[in-house]
């Protein structure tokens, strides 16, 4: 289902930032013995009979450089545990994790601290701001821990504070800020060290729906400027669809499917995934390429193949003739009719 390129471990610049292979996190006595003994071939029943809890079961995934990789699952699905394994906040019971080709799990404490100080940033669901520091102090904290001089780190912190739109509030204390503003501080703080990988653990779940929407837009604005490699955790499928380049869906600790939003909607791996995708407005997810027909002789206008149906729907529906579909190079690869738009909007089978 996933369109992963073959992994070239150890090669920086391969486009692969983080790789998890067969990662397990099992809570309970004797968990690692069981996993070692069975070489990872452990079922849910095995765990049940031994009174163990499999928070993450045999998770494998690859995060490419510069992509937004969303891990989506309901509460208790193990998504938070998995992201904590990726940063080694939680020690996995078994498996292999490579960060930029380097073995993360075998890394000595000192090197890990260096890695966290310079390469990783994390945003937390409940903000996790330090109550005794003001905005400036909070944002500068990761730099302070590195041992950066006050003037330098505060200068850098001011830049990031401006980036997230909190200029003028740098002397406020966390309790003086609204939830949305607090999370802006959390975001600024995690970006202060210019991390190469950016973990966001349900960053907008604690916010009101309107603020959440605003913060998602803000997040996309930042990402369009920064092009970070992102692992984003959410329990909200709409949010996943909105933000993701690719999505991994988790259930009971296992990854069920990895794919682009479009792949998940068009080819759900099972009923569980299909249940999520059913309510999703297709027009927002499907690209023109997924619903277009054969090229035709004359057309009323042009659309691009990678555009979402939603974006072109109004224009095509108003047109009297089919539209031509162009690929990146500008060549005509297909056509789009009012009927195609109509089928997507009412949820009928597309002719593709």
Partner 1 sequence: MSAPASRDRWLAAGLPRRYAIAWLVLLLVAIAVHLARGALPALATYPEPWFLPLRFWVSDLMKWLVNDFDLGLFTFQEMTRSIAWLLEWPLRAAQSLFAEGFSRGIGRDAEEIVPRIPWIALIVACALMGLSARGRGLAALVAGALLYLAVFGQWDSAMVTLASIVIAVPLGAGAGLLLGIAGFRSVRLERVLVPLLDLMQTVPIFAYLVPVLFLFGFGPVAAMVATIIYATPPMVRVTMLALRQVPADVVEFGRMAGCSRRQLLWKVLVPSARPSLMVGINQVIMLSLNMVIIASMIGAGGLGYDVLTSLKRLRIGDGVEAGLAITLLAIALDRLSQAFANRPPRAHRDTTPPFFRRHPFLIAATALLAVSWMAGSVLPGVQDYPETLEISTAQMWSDLIKWINVNFYDHLEAVKTWLLFHLLIPVKRFLTTVPWIAVVAAVAIAGHRLGGWRLAALTGSLALFMAVTGNWEKSMITVYLCGVSVLVASLIGIPVGIWAARNERVHRVVQVVIDTLQTLPSFVYLIPVVMLFRVGDFSAMIAVVAYAVAPAVRYTAHGLRQVPAQLIEAATAAGCTRRQTLWKVQFPIALPEIMLGINQTIMLALSMLVITALVGTRDLGQEVYIALTKADTGRGIVAGLCVAFIAIISDRLISAWVRRKKRELGLE
Give the footprint of partner 1 on this chain (CB under 8 A): 84, 87, 89, 113-118, 120-122, 124-134, 141-142, 144-146, 171-173, 175-176, 199
Q: Answer yes or no: are the C-beta atoms of 233 and 226 closer than 8 Å.
A: no
Q: Which is nearer to partner 1, 102 or 238 (CB)?
A: 102
Q: Answer yes or no: are the C-beta atoms of 69 and 259 closer than 8 Å.
A: no
- As measured in angstroms, the least distance from the Cβ of 85 to partner 1 is 13
Q: Answer yes or no: are the C-beta atoms of 140 and 155 closer than 8 Å.
A: no
- As measured in angstroms, the least distance from the Cβ of 190 to partner 1 is 8
Task: Find the largest Cα–Cα distance for the chain.
Answer: 70
- As measured in angstroms, the least distance from the Cβ of 130 to partner 1 is 6
Q: Which is nearer to partner 1, 201 or 263 (CB)?
A: 201
What are the structure tokens assigned to 317, written together? 């529906």
Q: In the beta sheet, which residues pair with residue 232?
A: 70, 200
| SS3 per-residue string spanning 258-312 | EECHHHHHHCCCCHHHHHHHHCCCHHHHCEHHHHCECCCCCCCEEEECCCEHHHH
**Beta carbons within 8 Å of 125's beta carbon, 6+ residues apart:** 201, 202, 203, 205, 206
- As measured in angstroms, the least distance from the Cβ of 309 to partner 1 is 39
- As measured in angstroms, the least distance from the Cβ of 239 to partner 1 is 19
**Beta carbons within 8 Å of 313's beta carbon, 6+ residues apart:** 283, 341, 344, 345
Q: Answer yes or no: are the C-beta atoms of 68 and 240 closer than 8 Å.
A: no
- As measured in angstroms, the least distance from the Cβ of 113 to partner 1 is 5
């Amino acid at each position: 289902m996933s369109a992963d390129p073959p992994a070239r471990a150890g090669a920086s610049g391969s486009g692969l930032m983080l790789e998890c292979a067969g990662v397990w996190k099992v809570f309970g006595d004797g968990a690692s013995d069981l996993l070692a003994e069975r070489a990872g071939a452990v079922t849910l029943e095995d765990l049940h009979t031994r009174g163990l809890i499999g928070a993450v079961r045999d998770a494998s995934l690859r995060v490419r450089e510069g992509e937004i990789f969303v891990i989506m699952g309901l509460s208790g699905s193990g998504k938070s545990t998995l992201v904590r394994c990726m940063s080694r906040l939680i020690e996995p019971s078994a498996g292999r994790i490579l960060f930029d080709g380097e073995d993360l799990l075998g890394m000595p404490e000192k090197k890990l601290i260096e890695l966290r100080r310079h390469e990783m940033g994390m945003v937390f669901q409940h903000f996790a701001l330090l109550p005794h520091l003001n905005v400036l102090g909070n944002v500068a904290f990761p730099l302070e821990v590195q041992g950066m001089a006050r003037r330098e780190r505060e200068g850098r912190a001011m830049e990031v504070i401006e980036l997230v739109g909190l200029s003028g509030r740098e002397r406020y204390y966390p309790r003086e800020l609204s939830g949305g503003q607090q999370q802006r501080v959390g975001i600024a703080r995690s970006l202060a060290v210019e991390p190469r990988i950016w973990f966001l653990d349900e960053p907008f779940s604690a916010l009101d729906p309107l603020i959440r929407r605003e913060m998602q837009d803000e997040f996309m604005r930042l990402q369009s400027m920064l092009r970070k490699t992102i692992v984003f955790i959410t329990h909200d499928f709409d949010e996943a669809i909105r933000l993701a380049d690719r999505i991994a869906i988790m259930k009971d600790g296992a990854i069920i499917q990895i794919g682009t939003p479009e792949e998940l909607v068009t080819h759900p791996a099972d009923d569980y995934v299909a249940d999520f995708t059913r309510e999703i407005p297709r027009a927002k997810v499907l690209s023109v390429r997924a619903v277009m027909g054969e090229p035709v002789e004359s057309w009323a206008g042009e659309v691009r193949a990678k555009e979402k149906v939603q974006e072109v729907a109004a224009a095509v529906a108003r047109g009297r003739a089919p539209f031509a579909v162009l690929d990146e190079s500008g060549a005509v690869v297909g056509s789009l009719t009012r009927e195609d738009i109509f089928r997507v909007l009412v949820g009928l089978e597309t002719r593709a």
